[in-house]
């Protein structure tokens, strides 16, 4: 396909906007880019004006790759339309949560488990934003030292809830979160299960196990919404099977694909600094025997969604990854 691929982006919200921007920025080989949504209209995404088509089965005729944008925690359009797109010859990359834990659907973070793409049958799941940035930092530690337990607290931006979350922060909208977000923190993302964990916390546990290939890994997550526009932050505590030194851990993080080590012990990345950056940044690294602690931050709309999805497509079509 020397002239490029016909690509569809389903969804014209924040993630759809970033998908268009990343496809352009990374120069993904396209001969046509379609934007589809619930209703036909004109919309501006990533500075381009699109005639948005209706997301219906016929709209996927001739499409090679279909990105379903989705938003954090919501049932996505892929439930109704993924099979229709696949039956017409498209490969679907779904940012929604519906298929992530389906054993027949690869859940892929290319820096960690790109080999899983060889198992796809037309549908590939993009992991949860908070999971993605954590597993790219955990993968090198898992290979070198083995993992026993993960304890993570997240501090997640309102853009993870889509435009309604941004509106809640900027305009005081009160029907998005269980309590006001302005000047506040809300330790509840998603519904609460019988075990006391929220859906977001359960996603982090189960998705990490699947991506890392460690089905019995202990993962204890507390996920918190904070009044920040873009950029998820995480405090991660890792117990390893084998002892590590600080120098070993720093060397691994410096070399890890998709990871940028922020500097010495007093340096640290923040959401403001990572907004617009495609990777995951790490700081505040501490090591004592079998215990490793660090802070990591990523743009939830990019590496946590759009960038990872485009990297999946790049891996599929053999395009070089991680272009700055």
What are the residue boundaries of the structural domains of the chain, listed by start? 5-126+304-317, 130-300
Q: For residue 271, with 0-12 CB atoms within 10 Å meaning exposed, 13-18 middle and 19 or more buried, which class applies? A: buried
Task: Judge whether 106 and 117 are in contact, CB under 8 Å.
Answer: yes
Residues 26-50: b if buried by 16+ CB within 10 A, e if exposed: bebbbeebbbbbeeeeebebbeeeb
Mean predicted confidence (pLDDT) in 212-221: 98
Identify the band that residue 2 occupies on the pLDDT scale cut at 50, 70 and 90.
low
Mean pLDDT, rounded, of the chain: 93
CATH code reported for the domain at 5-126+304-317: 3.40.50.720
Q: How many whole angstroms from its chain centre is CA 196?
A: 24
Active site residue 296: no
Other Cβ atoms less than 10 A from the Cβ of 236: the count is 23
Contact 184, 207 (CB under 8 A): no
One of 120, 229, 232, 296 is an active-site residue; which one?
232
* Residues 187-192, mean pLDDT to the nearest whole number: 95
E strands, 142-247, in order: 147-156, 218-225, 232-240
**Average pLDDT, integer, range 62-73:** 81
pLDDT in tens, 93-104: 999 889 999 999
30 beta partners: 5
CB contact set of 277 (below 8 Å; sequence gap of 6+): 298, 299, 302, 303
Distance (Å, whole) CA 203 – CA 197: 10
- In this structure, which topology does domain 130-300 adopt according to CATH? Dihydrodipicolinate Reductase; domain 2 (3.30.360)
d(CA 214, CA 176): 35
Q: Bridge partners of 66?
A: 8, 92
Q: Establish whether 129 is a catalytic residue.
A: yes
Distance between CA 45 and CA 14 in Å, rounded?
A: 9
pTM score, whole prediction: 0.92
Taking the C-alpha atoms of residue 52 and residue 290, their distance in angstroms, rounded to an integer, is 53
**Weakest mean pLDDT among 35-49, 204-218, 307-321:** 307-321
Closest CA to 209 of 196, 220, 194, 197: 220
Write the DSSP symbol of residue 174. -
State residue 267's pLDDT score.
Answer: 82
211, 107 Cβ separation under 8 angstroms: yes
Residues 67 and 9: beta-carbon distance below 8 Å: yes
Of all residues in the chain, the percent with pLDDT exceeding 70 is: 95
Contact assessment for residue 117 and residue 186, using Cβ atoms and an 8 Å cutoff: no
pLDDT for 266 equals 75
Does residue 194 surpass a pLDDT of 50?
A: yes
**Side-chain half-sphere exposure of 95, counting CA atoms within 13 A:** 33
> pLDDT value at position 75?
59
Quick one: average pLDDT of 23-34?
96
Task: State the Cα–Cα distance between residues 67 and 57, nearest whole angstrom.
Answer: 14
User: In Å, how far are 4, 116, 318 from 1, measured between CA atoms?
Assistant: 5, 23, 12
pLDDT tens digits for 244-278? 999 999 999 999 999 998 777 778 999 999 999 99
Residue 324 pLDDT:
35
Tell me whether the CATH fold assigned to 5-126+304-317 matches the one assigned to 130-300.
no
Confidence at 318, pLDDT banded by 50, 70, 90: confident
At residue 77 the predicted structure's pLDDT band, cuts being 50, 70 and 90, is confident
Residues 210 and 184: their CA atoms lie apart, in Å, by 33
């Amino acid at each position: 396909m020397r002239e490029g691929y016909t690509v569809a982006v389903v969804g014209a919200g924040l993630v759809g906007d970033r998908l268009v921007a990343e496809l352009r920025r990374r120069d993904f080989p396209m001969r046509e880019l379609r934007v589809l949504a619930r209703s036909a209209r004109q919309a501006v995404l990533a500075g381009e004006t699109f005639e948005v088509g209706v997301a219906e089965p016929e709209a996927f005729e001739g499409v090679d790759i279909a990105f379903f944008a989705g938003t954090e925690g919501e049932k996505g359009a892929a439930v109704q339309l993924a099979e229709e797109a696949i039956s017409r010859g498209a490969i679907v990359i779904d940012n929604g949560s519906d298929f992530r834990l389906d054993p027949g659907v690869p859940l892929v973070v290319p820096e960690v488990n790109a080999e899983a793409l060889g198992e796809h049958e037309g549908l590939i799941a993009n992991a949860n934003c908070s999971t993605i940035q954590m597993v790219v930092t955990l993968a090198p530690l898992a290979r070198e030292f083995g993992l026993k337990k993960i304890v993570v607290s997240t501090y997640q931006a309102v853009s993870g809830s889509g435009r309604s979350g941004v509106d809640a922060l900027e305009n005081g909208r009160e029907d998005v979160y269980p309590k006001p977000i302005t000047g506040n923190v809300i330790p509840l993302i998603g519904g609460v299960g019988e075990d006391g964990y929220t859906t977001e916390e359960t996603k982090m546990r189960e998705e990490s196990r699947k991506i890392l290939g460690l089905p019995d890994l202990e993962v204890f997550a507390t996920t918190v919404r904070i009044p920040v526009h873009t950029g998820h932050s995480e405090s991660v505590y890792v117990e390893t099977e084998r002892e590590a030194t600080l120098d070993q851990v720093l060397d691994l993080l410096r070399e890890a694909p998709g990871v940028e080590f922020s500097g010495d012990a007093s340096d640290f990345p923040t959401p403001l600094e990572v907004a617009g950056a495609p990777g995951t940044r790490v700081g505040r690294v501490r090591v004592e025997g079998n215990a490793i602690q660090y802070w990591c931050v990523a743009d939830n709309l990019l590496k946590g969604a759009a960038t990872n999805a485009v990297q999946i497509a790049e891996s599929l079509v053999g395009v070089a990854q991680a272009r700055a």
